[in-house]
C-alpha cells in the first residue's frame, strides 16, 4: 500500500515541509531509514539521525526546528509518536479481515456467532457461547461453554478461555493466554494436606482491553475477576482470583498480582512488579520495575519503588546510603578503634 505525503498530512492534519508528492510504502526506524519509508522523531535523543536518515518522510513535533539541512520531507504534527501510531492503526485496519469458519473448527450447535465472524482451523467454541460481529477466532483457540465474546475482538492462536467468562468489545488477546483457570485456592487441613477450594466465579474483561502472550488470569472463587475498560497487559503476567484492575491501567511483563487485590484507574506498573493479596491501590499509582508492594497505597498518583516498595524519592535517598554501607562501616570501625585506644590511655 502506497501513500503520498499529502495524503498522510491530510489524515494527520499536519503541515508538510518538503516535497508533498513523495510516496512511502513501508515504515522504518529513523536510524534504519530507507527510500520509500516513513519514520518519526519524538525523542530528542534520536535527532542526529534525522540529518542522515534515508527515509522519504519523517513525522516530527510541530515545535521541531532542524539544526541542519534535512533531506526527508517532514510532516509536523502535534504529537509525532501518537500520529505514527494512528497511521499504523489505519494501515492495519485497511487490511481485509478474515471471514468464515474453517472446516476443521468445532462450533457446538447452540453456540451463536454474529456476522462476519472468523473461526480458524481446529478452534473450539462450546455450548451456549456467543461471539459478536466481526470477531476473529484464530486456530487452536478454545472457548468454554457459556462464554461470551463481544464484537470486533481478535483472539490469537492457542488462547484458552474457560467456561462462563465474559470478553467485551474490541478486545485483543495474544497467543497462549489462559483466561478463567482456577484461582490458587487451597485450605490447609489438620493432616498438613491442602484441600482444593472450588473456584465457581468467572473472569469479566471489559471493552478495549489488550492482553499479551502467555498471560494467566484466574477465575474468581466467587463473583468475578474483573479487568476494566482500556486496560493493557504485557506478556507473562499473572493475575490472581478476585483481582480487579481499574480502567486504563497498564502493566509490563512478568508482573504478578495476588488474589483479591483492587488496583485503581490509570495506574502504571513496571516489569516484574509483585503485588501482595487483599490490597487496595489508589488511582494513578506508578510502580517502578521490580517493586514489591505489600501494603495498601492510599495516596493517589504516588510513585513507589523498591521491595518492600515505598515513595520513590525516599527510596533513592535510602539507596545512596545503602551503596555507601561498606564505607560507612569502615569509618565506624575506625572511630570505634580510636575510642578504644583513648580509653586505654
Query: Mean pLDDT in the chain?
Result: 94
Three-state helix/strand/coil letters over the chain: CCEEHHHHHHHHCCEEECCCCCEECEECCHHHCCCCEEEEECCHHHHHHHCCCCCCEEEEECCCCCCCCCCCEEEEECCHHHHHHHHHHHHHHHCCCCCEECCCCEECCCCEECCCCEECCCCEECCCCEECCCCEECCCCEECCCCEECCCCEECCCCEECCCCEECCCCEECCCCEEEECCCCEEECCCCCEEECCCCCEEEECCCCEECCCCEEECCCCCEEEECCCCEECCCCEECCCCEECCCCEECCCCEECCCCEECCCCEECCCCEECCCCEECCCCEECCCCEECCCECCCCCEEECCCCEEHHHHHHHHHHHHCHHHHHHHHHHHHHHHHHHHHC
Is the predicted pLDDT of residue 7 greater than 80, yes or no?
yes
pLDDT tier for residue 186 given thresholds of 50, 70 and 90? very high
- CA-to-CA distance for 154 and 149, rounded, in angstroms? 10
Is the predicted pLDDT of residue 178 greater than 90, yes or no?
yes
Q: Report pLDDT for 343.
A: 81
| pLDDT single digits (tens) 68-108 | 999 999 999 999 999 999 988 877 777 777 889 999 999 99
Q: Report pLDDT for 79.
A: 96
- Please, are residues 245 and 263 in contact by the beta-carbon 8 Å criterion? yes
CATH number for the domain running over 100-314: 2.160.10.10
Is the predicted pLDDT of residue 249 greater than 90, yes or no?
yes
pLDDT tier for residue 13 given thresholds of 50, 70 and 90? very high
Q: Report pLDDT for 91.
A: 77
Catalytic site includes residue 174: no
- CA-to-CA distance for 77 and 329, rounded, in angstroms? 56
Residue closest to 278 by CA, chosen among 294, 267, 301: 294
Percent of the chain with pLDDT over 70: 100
Q: Which residues contact 267 (CB under 8 A, 6 or more apart)?
A: 246, 249, 250, 251, 281, 283, 284, 285, 286, 287
Q: Report pLDDT for 40.
A: 96
- CA-to-CA distance for 128 and 147, rounded, in angstroms? 7
| Domain positions in the chain | 3-94, 100-314, 320-344
Specify the pTM: 0.85
Q: Which residues contact 72 (CB under 8 A, 6 or more apart)?
A: 18, 33, 39, 50, 53, 55, 56, 57, 58
Q: Name the CATH code of domain 3-94 (choices 3.60.150.10, 3.30.70.580, 3.40.1390.10, 3.90.650.10).
A: 3.40.1390.10
Q: Of the listed 140, 163, 174, 241, which one is catalytic? A: 241
* C-alpha gyration radius of the chain: 27
C-alpha cell at 28: 522504518
- CA-to-CA distance for 43 and 29, rounded, in angstroms? 12
- CA-to-CA distance for 70 and 307, rounded, in angstroms? 47
Q: Which residues contact 68 (CB under 8 A, 6 or more apart)?
A: 51
Whether 3-94 and 100-314 share one fold: the answer is: no
Amino acid at each position: 500500500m502506497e501513500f503520498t505525503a499529502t495524503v498522510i498530512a491530510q489524515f494527520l492534519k499536519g503541515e508538510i515541509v518538503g516535497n508533498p508528492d513523495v510516496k512511502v510504502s513501508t515504515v522504518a526506524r529513523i536510524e534504519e531509514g530507507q527510500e520509500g519509508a516513513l519514520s518519526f522523531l519524538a525523542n530528542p535523543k534520536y535527532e542526529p539521525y534525522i540529518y542522515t536518515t534515508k527515509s522519504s518522510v519523517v513525522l516530527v513535533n510541530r515545535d521541531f526546528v532542524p539544526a541542519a539541512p534535512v533531506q526527508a520531507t517532514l510532516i509536523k504534527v502535534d504529537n509525532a509518536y501518537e500520529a505514527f501510531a494512528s497511521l499504523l492503526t489505519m494501515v492495519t485496519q485497511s487490511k481485509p479481515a478474515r471471514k468464515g469458519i474453517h472446516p476443521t473448527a468445532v462450533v457446538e450447535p447452540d453456540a451463536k456467532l454474529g456476522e462476519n465472524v472468523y473461526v480458524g482451523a481446529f478452534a473450539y467454541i462450546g455450548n451456549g457461547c456467543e461471539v459478536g460481529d466481526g470477531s476473529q477466532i484464530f486456530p487452536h483457540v478454545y472457548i468454554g461453554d457459556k462464554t461470551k465474546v463481544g464484537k470486533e475482538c481478535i483472539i490469537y492462536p492457542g488462547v484458552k478461555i474457560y467456561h462462563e467468562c465474559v470478553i467485551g468489545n474490541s478486545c485483543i488477546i495474544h497467543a497462549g493466554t489462559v483466561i478463567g483457570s482456577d484461582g490458587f485456592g487451597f485450605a490447609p487441613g489438620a493432616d498438613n494436606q491442602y484441600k482444593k477450594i472450588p473456584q465457581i466465579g468467572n473472569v469479566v474483561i471489559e471493552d478495549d482491553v489488550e492482553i499479551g502472550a502467555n498471560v494467566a488470569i484466574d477465575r474468581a472463587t466467587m463473583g468475578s475477576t474483573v479487568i476494566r475498560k482500556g486496560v493493557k497487559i504485557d506478556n507473562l503476567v499473572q493475575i490472581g482470583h478476585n483481582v480487579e484492575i481499574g480502567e486504563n491501567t497498564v502493566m509490563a511483563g512478568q508482573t504478578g498480582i495476588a488474589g483479591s487485590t483492587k488496583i485503581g484507574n490509570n495506574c502504571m506498573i513496571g516489569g516484574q512488579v509483585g503485588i501482595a493479596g487483599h490490597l487496595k491501590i489508589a488511582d494513578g499509582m506508578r510502580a517502578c520495575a521490580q517493586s514489591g508492594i505489600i501494603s495498601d497505597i492510599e495516596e493517589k498518583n504516588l510513585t513507589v519503588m523498591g521491595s518492600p516498595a515505598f515513595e520513590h524519592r525516599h527510596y533513592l535517598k535510602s539507596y545512596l546510603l545503602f551503596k555507601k554501607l561498606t564505607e560507612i562501616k569502615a569509618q565506624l570501625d575506625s572511630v570505634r578503634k580510636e575510642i578504644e585506644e583513648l580509653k586505654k590511655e
